[in-house]
């Protein structure tokens, strides 16, 4: 199947003329499609002091030439756009120094990490310009691909859109011992998918209307690791892709243009118990997945990985003309003991509310001065999340890994039997999850639960809770 069979790309690769406010003609064009290599976020090397791994992160302004003829103003971490990958082992103690070099407040939240509220990086932990925040915690969870992003009150969507995000990979005994591709950037490839839109001057065009607030900000231009239409060269063997939907609101249906089968091995917060074969992978904002793809039949050929909803190729993959290498995927991956045989009467209900100009949970909009729930430490609870609208909402909970028990009373999808931190609640659906919090959070530094359509979060579809003994 040719690239043109995947999608008619329209303006991609064509010149577009814009008129700015001073009536000066600005000629901006997209670079030729699939002409730039896929960048791999570098692994940030820590300083090791007294057995503690210390990482330095600076949130800063930058500029990137996404479009030919324009330098787009951006935010990034230690660089112009996005940030480095932090990679640690279970039981490591890490110390992270976050410096804010922006002209506005920000903070970094460790999405998916099970850390105390004081270290979580929520909106109550705001870092003023030219100030720093240092936090230290122990990694006490399974192997997973987490991430970090801003969580600034009412500005999370804007700051993520500007480019603040990075991966946080945790390894453990299981991931180290499993027979899986492990060479970062070679056969273990991180893929951060985002969408953007640009104004007439080639600058990011963020929220413009009530429609953007209610539906979330989406763009017609897609980025992979910060590049439009990149190209990746791989050997003819099985490649591991660590995929994150880093968009503010878009839901992606990932697939290959030849509809080839691939295998999911992990989700948000853990490996799956066993591999799951599929031809399409659905990920909402903030969700992650790891897949294995066999390219041994494509030596010397090319293939496209893209989004089935928009019918767009997002990544061109060139397979080297080398001797193919066969790989045997493990038949089982891990045993998940967490939340087996859940029997509890401790049930909390969360109803997602939405009407024109108003977004809330349980009829209450986010209030920094109000604690919405008090949750006991180390007690398994069932959280029942009700969506009473047609629009799906990705629901995220800080400080935990949970297990999806049911969707409308029925078993969840096979590729969601891993541990999760974000669950997509479909329109008019009720999802039940089992959850336990192993760290405390306080009134000063509470945990959050919220819709991860970032414009919904910023507009009020978020609540605060504390965890105590």
**Stretch 299-316: mean pLDDT:** 98
206, 152: one domain: no
| Share of residues in the chain with pLDDT > 90 (%) | 92
Summary mean pLDDT of the chain: 95
| Residue 251 counted as domain residue | yes
What DSSP character marks residue 102?
Answer: S
What are the residues facing 87 on neighbouring strands?
169
pLDDT of residue 12: 34
| Residue 388 counted as domain residue | yes
Domain residues for the domain of 55 are: 47-171
What are the residues facing 227 on neighbouring strands?
224
**Stretch 18-22: mean pLDDT:** 40
Reported in sequence order, the residue ranges of 408-461 that DSSP labels E, i.e. its strands, are 422-425, 430-435, 447-451
Non-local (6+) Cβ contacts of 338 within 8 A are 401, 403, 419, 436
**Stretch 22-45: mean pLDDT:** 86
| Share of residues in the chain with pLDDT > 70 (%) | 94
Q: Mark which of 171, 205, 240 sits at the end of a domain.
A: 171
CA separation for the pair 18, 202 (Å, rounded): 9
pLDDT band at 88 (very low <50, low <70, confident <90, very high): very high
452, 351: one domain: yes
| Residue 90 counted as domain residue | yes
CA separation for the pair 431, 261 (Å, rounded): 28
227, 159: one domain: no
Task: Note whether 361 and 449 are within 8 A (CB).
Answer: yes
For the cut 90, the answer to whether the pLDDT of residue 126 exceeds it is yes
192, 310: one domain: yes
| Residue 249 counted as domain residue | yes
Number of domains in the chain: 3
CA separation for the pair 386, 349 (Å, rounded): 7
What's the distance, CA 389 to chain centroid?
24
192, 305: one domain: yes
pLDDT of residue 342: 86
| Residue 340 counted as domain residue | no
CATH number for the domain spanning 392: value is: 2.60.40.420
Quote the pTM value.
Answer: 0.94
CA separation for the pair 3, 304 (Å, rounded): 7
pLDDT of residue 26: 61
For the cut 50, the answer to whether the pLDDT of residue 148 exceeds it is yes
């Amino acid at each position: 199947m040719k690239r043109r069979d995947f999608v008619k790309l329209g303006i991609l690769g064509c010149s577009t003329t814009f008129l700015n406010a001073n009536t000066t003609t600005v000629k901006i064009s997209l670079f030729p499609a699939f002409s730039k290599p896929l960048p791999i976020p570098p692994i940030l090397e820590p300083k090791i002091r007294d057995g503690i791994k210390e990482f330095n992160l600076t949130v800063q302004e930058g500029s990137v030439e996404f479009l030919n003829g324009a330098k787009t103003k951006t935010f990034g971490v230690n660089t112009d756009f996005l940030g480095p990958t932090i990679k640690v082992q279970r039981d490591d103690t890490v110390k992270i120094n976050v410096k804010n070099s922006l002209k506005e407040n920000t903070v970094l939240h460790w999405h998916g990490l099970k850390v105390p509220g004081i270290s979580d990086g929520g909106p109550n932990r705001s870092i003023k310009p030219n100030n720093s925040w240092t936090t230290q915690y122990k990694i006490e969870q399974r192997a997973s691909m987490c991430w970090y992003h801003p969580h600034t009150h009412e500005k999370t969507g804007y700051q993520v859109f500007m480019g603040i995000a990075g991966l946080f990979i945790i390894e453990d005994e299981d991931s180290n011992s499993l027979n899986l591709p492990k060479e970062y950037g070679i056969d273990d490839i991180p893929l951060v998918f985002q969408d953007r839109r640009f104004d007439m001057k080639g600058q990011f065009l963020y929220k413009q209307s009530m429609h953007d607030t209610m539906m979330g900000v989406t763009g017609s231009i897609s980025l992979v690791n910060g590049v439009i239409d990149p190209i990746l060269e791989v050997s003819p063997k099985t490649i591991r892709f660590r995929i994150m939907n880093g968009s503010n609101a878009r839901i992606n249906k990932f697939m290959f243009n030849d509809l080839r089968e691939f295998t999911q091995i992990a989700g948000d917060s853990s490996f799956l118990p066993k591999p799951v074969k599929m031809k399409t992978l659905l990920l909402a904002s903030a969700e992650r997945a790891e897949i294995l793809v066999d390219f041994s039949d494509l030596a010397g050929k090319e293939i496209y990985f893209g989004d089935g909803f928009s019918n767009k190729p997002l990544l061109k993959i060139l397979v080297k003309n080398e001797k193919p290498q066969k790989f045997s995927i493990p038949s089982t991956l891990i045993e998940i003991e967490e939340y087996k045989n859940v029997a509890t009467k401790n049930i909390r209900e969360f109803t997602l509310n939405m009407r024109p100009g108003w977004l809330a949970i349980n009829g209450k909009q986010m209030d920094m001065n109000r604690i919405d729930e008090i949750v006991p430490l180390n007690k398994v609870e069932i959280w029942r999340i009700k969506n009473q609208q047609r629009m799906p909402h990705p629901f995220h909970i800080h400080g935990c890994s949970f297990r999806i028990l049911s969707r409308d009373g029925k078993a969840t999808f096979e590729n969601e039997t891993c541990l999760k931190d974000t669950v997509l609640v479909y329109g008019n659906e009720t999802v039940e999850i089992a959850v336990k919090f192993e760290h405390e959070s306080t009134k000063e530094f509470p945990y959050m639960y919220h819709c991860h359509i970032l414009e919904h979060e910023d507009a009020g579809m978020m609540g605060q809770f504390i965890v105590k003994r």
